[in-house]
Structure 1
Amino acid sequence: MNCSMATSEPQQFDPPIQTVDPRTGAPLAPATPAATIIVFRDCPSGGAPELLMVERSSQMVFAGGAVVFPGGRLDADDHLIASSLDHGLDPDDAAARIAAIRETVEETGLGIGFATAPQREALAEARAALHAGAVFSELCRDAGWTFDLSALTLFTRWRPPFNERRVFDTRFYLARCDAHDHIVEVDATENRHLFWATAADALAMADEGKVKLIFPTRRNMERLAQFGCHADAVAHAAQYPARMIMPFIEEHDGRPFLCIPEGMGYPVTREPMGSAMRG
């Protein structure tokens, strides 16, 4: 799917529909739409693929000090770009893919989801411009960049039902980084460190106390550790079409656990509340 920008007027978007808790039926406060990319690259020595991880600044309100995948919230310009493309996707899904592409450029300097891979120098300039407040659609237009939204595969979608200060409705996408010599650099704003690691290695680092994984990231790492390559993950995503995952608290053996529903592709579906990091 080579998605170039069309010249039609941007469509208008209706306000998001209020979500209800699937277990209680109670209405939930609106969540902020967000998107993230799980970037795969083949390990040069063989074995499991490596994933691009971002360690957030400890000063951040949401997931401070935690290791996450690159991404962030959607903005109006993401919808503007999506509405100008011929993509055949749900409008919100398309806008989330644009947001994930933009945030990955901002946070890592990596260009994922473009029809033709941008030159490294051009990406660096665009990244600096975005940090200075430039508009992504204008940068793409001036650079002649077009998108290949099919390079991103929808993997899952998470939205906590709890009334917390920061609630995000986050779509997770899978993507592949073909070249192994891509230079990624931390943005030094919201994040403090970037690194590549297999899912199993990231889980081991968390168990050893070297990194922090919030509950959704840990569950997704456990799921990703099952795959030997990006294609395996894409095939698995086709077996388990993404549905909204809303964690819930349930008692087991007299102890409270943070849980997710069974049958959604996750090998581990609960964790004691005492160890679960919620964000």
Structure 2
Amino acid sequence: MPDAIPAATLIVFRETSFGPPEILMVERARAMAFAAGALVFPGGRIDPGDVALAAAIAPERHDAAARIAAIRETIEEAGIAIGLVPPPSPQAIATMRAALHAGQAFGDLLDAIGATLDLYALVVFARWLPAHAHARIFDTHFYLARLPADAPPATVDTTENVHLRWATASQVLTDADAGAATIIFPTRRNLERLAGFANFAAALADAGEHPVRTITPFVEAREGIDHLCIPDDLGYPITSEPFSAAVRG
């Protein structure tokens, strides 16, 4: 089995006045090696720069690098800056985003605009570490965050991702069941959990009730059919799916 790649992802909530909150999803380019063409939450691997910045600003937090990666990747992939103090202007976000794509260090860019990171703007939600023979396995930290009130419109990066959308968790699941969208097994399970929350506060309460334990899906025969399963005590309403139907990236 290949070594796991440390990664982080951010589930961004946009409250609405007419129903459940919407979640930011990005569609992966079909040329990507992992989750090609799938809808996912913004995120990606934890870079050495994230580790160095974490050691400098929050050495006491074991997951600081993951939180920094989730913030950075959301800027890169969607143009949304969460956890920056003071909140940067839309132009500053656009400039930072272009510089990140060009390979400039996140810490240097924060210094340039006089911003610091509020890592507590992210709330830990889950951690997934699949075990399969695929070429890439990600050890992914999942975080929750609310969209800032003054955030600019989210825009796709047109590199790793080709489309983005705001939709309720239930709508994404409906689209996937209709064949209009592709979602991999961890995304589906997390969307099913998210679909039960009437608002961001409910999501925070649920996260507080279920301490994070790393989830490694496993195969188990149920009524003669192999299922891909997860533990049943971590807050997920659906904990198995026929193996033949599971999309694994």
Q: Report the TM-score range of the alignment, normalised by the length of the smaller protein.
A: over 0.9
**Aligned residues of 2:82 and 2:148 also touching (Cα < 8 A):** no
Partner of 1:156 in structure 2? 126
**Aligned residues of 1:87 and 1:149 also touching (Cα < 8 A):** no
The SS at the match of 2:74 is helix
Superposed counterparts of 1:153-232, under 5 Å:
153-179=123-149, 182-232=152-202
Superposed counterparts of 1:30-109, under 5 Å:
30-43=3-16, 45-86=17-58, 88-90=60-62, 93-109=63-79
Q: Per-residue deviation at 1:182? A: 2.5
Q: Per-residue deviation at 1:131? A: 1.1
Superposed counterparts of 1:197-276, under 5 Å:
197-276=167-246
2:31 maps to amino acid = Q
More helix by percentage: 2
Normalization by structure 1: what TM-score? Answer: 0.87
Q: Per-residue deviation at 1:89? A: 2.0
Q: Per-residue deviation at 1:87? A: 7.0
Structure 1, unmatched stretches of 5+, are 1-27
**Aligned residues of 2:9 and 2:70 also touching (Cα < 8 A):** yes
2:20 maps to amino acid = A
Q: Per-residue deviation at 1:219? A: 0.1
**Aligned residues of 1:153 and 1:174 also touching (Cα < 8 A):** yes
- 126-135 or 80-89: bigger deviation: 80-89
**Aligned residues of 1:159 and 1:246 also touching (Cα < 8 A):** yes
Superposed counterparts of 1:108-147, under 5 Å:
108-147=78-117
Count of aligned pairs between the two proteins? 249
**What is the alpha-carbon distance in structure 1 between the residues aligned to residue 71 and residue 150 of structure 2?**
19
Deviations along 1:17-72, one digit per CA (max 9) or x if unpaired, are: xxxxxxxxxxx6421000000000111x3210000000000111100000000000
Runs of 4+ in 1 over 3 A off after TM superposition: none
**Aligned residues of 1:41 and 1:180 also touching (Cα < 8 A):** no
**What is the alpha-carbon distance in structure 2 between the residues aligned to residue 239 and residue 87 of structure 1?**
26
The SS at the match of 1:168 is strand
The SS at the match of 2:246 is coil
**Aligned residues of 2:81 and 2:151 also touching (Cα < 8 A):** no
Normalization by structure 2: what TM-score? Answer: 0.97
The SS at the match of 1:122 is helix
**What is the alpha-carbon distance in structure 2 between the residues aligned to residue 86 and residue 103 of structure 1?**
19
**Aligned residues of 1:257 and 1:272 also touching (Cα < 8 A):** yes
**What is the alpha-carbon distance in structure 1 between the residues aligned to residue 204 and residue 116 of structure 2?**
23
Deviations along 1:170-192, one digit per CA (max 9) or x if unpaired, are: 00000001327631111000000
**What is the alpha-carbon distance in structure 2 between the residues aligned to residue 87 and residue 117 of structure 1?**
23
More strand by percentage: 2
Structure of larger gyration radius: 1
2:51 maps to amino acid = H
